[in-house]
Chains A and B, each alone.
Chain A
Amino acid sequence: MKFLILVFENIARNPVRTILTSLGTMMLVLVVTLVFTVLTTLDKVTTEKSANIKAIVTEKWQNPSLMPYSYAAGLSDGAADPNDPNAIHPQDSMTWGFFVGSTESNPAKRGYENLFFSFIMEAEKARTMLDNIDSLPDEQARPLIEAIKKMKEFRNGVIVGEGRLNKLKKRIGDRITVYGRNYRDVNLELEIVGTFPKETAQYTDSAVINRDFFETELDTYKAAHNNKPHPLADKTLSLVWLRVPDRISFNKMTEQILTAPSFSNPAVKCETSSTGISSFLDAYRDIIWGVRWLLAPACMAVLALVISNAISISVRERRTEFAVLKVLGFLPWQILTLVLSEALLIGTLSGLLSAALAYGVINGVWGGLPFPIAFFPKFAVPINCLWWGAAMGAVTAFAGSFIPAWSARGVRVSDVFAKVA
């Protein structure tokens, strides 16, 4: 502890250099924090669980999956044989279709700012089955629960994420017309009844519309087109989500689904949500590999070099001081520790500050890191970043300063005061 004053005074010796080193460290820790934010979230959702498993049923041979809605009832029950008392029934289920459109009627003016992406689903399942919302306490999910109640009242109700509401410049209570893009010529008149809880940034650009309302709209389309159904009318079921308690139940239910004759044309497949998301992320495999194994290590190497450079300059300038310390009785390891401590202090504090700023600003101001990939428009910076930011700063500072510190340790008093007099 008594040496700390020396460490602090030395750091304050050249404020410009210390601040520049610190800023360099903060910038690189920020980049790696953002990279880790995306990677850890993807890792988390693609890690297989052993309990409380969510399964996804999709079309086997086609991507995107477009199954007939007639599959919904059977699949939602896990294709359980009603006559088999040992059949596995899922604990909960949810069907998904996707309706993509725009609030802009003029196709030439359609763009990201007026884009509308929604899940066609049973509204009440937004509370019990959507990832992260299903684990929220009622207190935090209250606005969504209220919105779901309203959707039962207003069949054309829609829940829209905060980010999308802002982009569309709409508020709860407003009405919008959405012009279908994947369901061409299906235009929906919707009333915004609520938004997602602010803790679930991943849905900030998404929306939920009622399944039965949408099916009715397809009937309306049919009536308006000489009883000719929409080309996608029999392909509105993209995914069925099923919740099972454990892996044994999952395996048995998968067998039920795959062997059921009702789901053979088109054929379906059943996988855990983590496997499903992994398959979906396969398209991004190379870029994720590059980010994980090239970008992040490169940032850390550059960070180590920045610190190494600053500490090397400092050590070169202070050779005489180290020699004086040795004359006073300081041991080589004490000088090594002194130099390493300076670097560690700068690295650790800068890393911690950078991570704290990333956590506060990105989550608090932006509602998450906007990096649209798969179903994740935004990634919330995890609280863990506070320790990994500090640790990253510390580790790279240690790596970068070790050689300069070793050189300081080896300063020979007789060389510094060399005079053959």
Chain B
Amino acid sequence: MSALNTAMLLALLPELLVLALMGVVLVADLAGWVQGRKLGWLTVVGLAVVLAVSLSVAMPNAAGAAVWGNTLRHDALSFVFRMLFLLAAGLTIFFSMDLPGLGDRGAFYLLLLASVLGMMLMAMANDLIMLFLAMETATIPLYVLAGFFTGRRDSVEAGFKYLLFGALASGVMLYGLSLLYGFSGGAVEFEAVARGLSETAAPRWAVLAALMVVLAGFAFKVAAVPFHFWAPDVYQGAPTPIAAFLSTASKAAGFALLVRVALVAFPGGTMPWWGAALAAMAAATMTLGNLLALTQTDLKRLLAYSSIGHAGYILMGVVAATKLGLTAVVFYLLVYLLTNLAAFGVVTVLERNTGSPAVAHLAGLYKRSPWLTLATLAAFLSLAGVPPFAGFVAKVWVFMAAVEAKLEWLAVVAVLNSIVGIYYYLVVLKVAYEYDPPADAQPLQVSRPVVWALAALAVFVVVAGVAFGPWFGWGQWAAMALFP
């Protein structure tokens, strides 16, 4: 039996701290020391402490190391994603703190923290067992969170739909993982699985079928075609900050795991059709997502389809399977995560004030709340990929990665899709700027934490678009984990 050492504990420090934070919140909630929205502040401060301590103490070197009996990898790639999840959880709490029935419940914070813990482990997972367990830990709390408004039909429906599709997807994925375990001769570590698959006696098509089944699980997690259909319904019914968390952190966690699996366990060369399948999926995802977004009149559904489209762009970087591709994926996810959180933050405010997230309710927003409209502008133009916002830079890098990997056709599809995308994002802005507000319109009430979060996010979207160097540097550092 090998002994425990400090390096192992240090590698797992962020997770241990999140677990400790969960304990603190739970005790504070039960004992009644901290109640209602103050629990939100406690959690946010706790997450900030975890983030600060992790950044100062637990930074790995880029190549990293496998720890805890090779079940986890503590490297730049996992570290960047873990910090991102902490950030996303904090921002989600800012948006939900003042929502009655959500931000005043201890269970909300506990479930969110449990989900974040699972996502962080997803980013680190280095074997099939950890992969599945981390994925379940991240997803199961989200089922409850999506249906958190137990008194509202649409929320319960969203939670239930997410649960049913999610359970099916993870069951199917587990079946695929067990097949891979068998084909690779009983290996669970990603590298060992790759080795086992390259010298397996099993026919190619059998291995490929197993891979496709596993891919289905990932496609569900990141909402990629043909396993995207749950996203609009779930986002629409779920509490808006939860929808934000689902479309950003949960998607990023799926990609964090997918890049590791796609680049380490099944490198494109060993399986000829694997890369082609991923490319087809990327093209179908971005096309379908963007086309269906065109007809949406509900802002949450629109953002759901747009997030499906973005999953397609990000998949492009995964397909490229190069150092630039991985860098672009990480950078894109960073930008997308913060931009989309801002967009959903606006929806939270809108829904809280007008009772529904219909695009029509944005009418005359400019005359009612100019600052909020400015944040909307930054978020939506960045999502559309208009310079000088961060989304533009992110798009350029994934397109370049695709071209560099000789996938010009995919890049062309993506550019055409971006043009479609610009249309529906601009329609939203047109309603906000050009249309007249209703006669009795008041300025929208925006709670203090939401103001801060939105302001910070809008500033980031502009700054990261103009001076993308440092943020791109994070992506490059993360990519060094797999491409030294």
User: Is this pair of chains taken from one and the same complex?
Assistant: no
List chain A positions with a Cβ less than 8 A from chain B. none
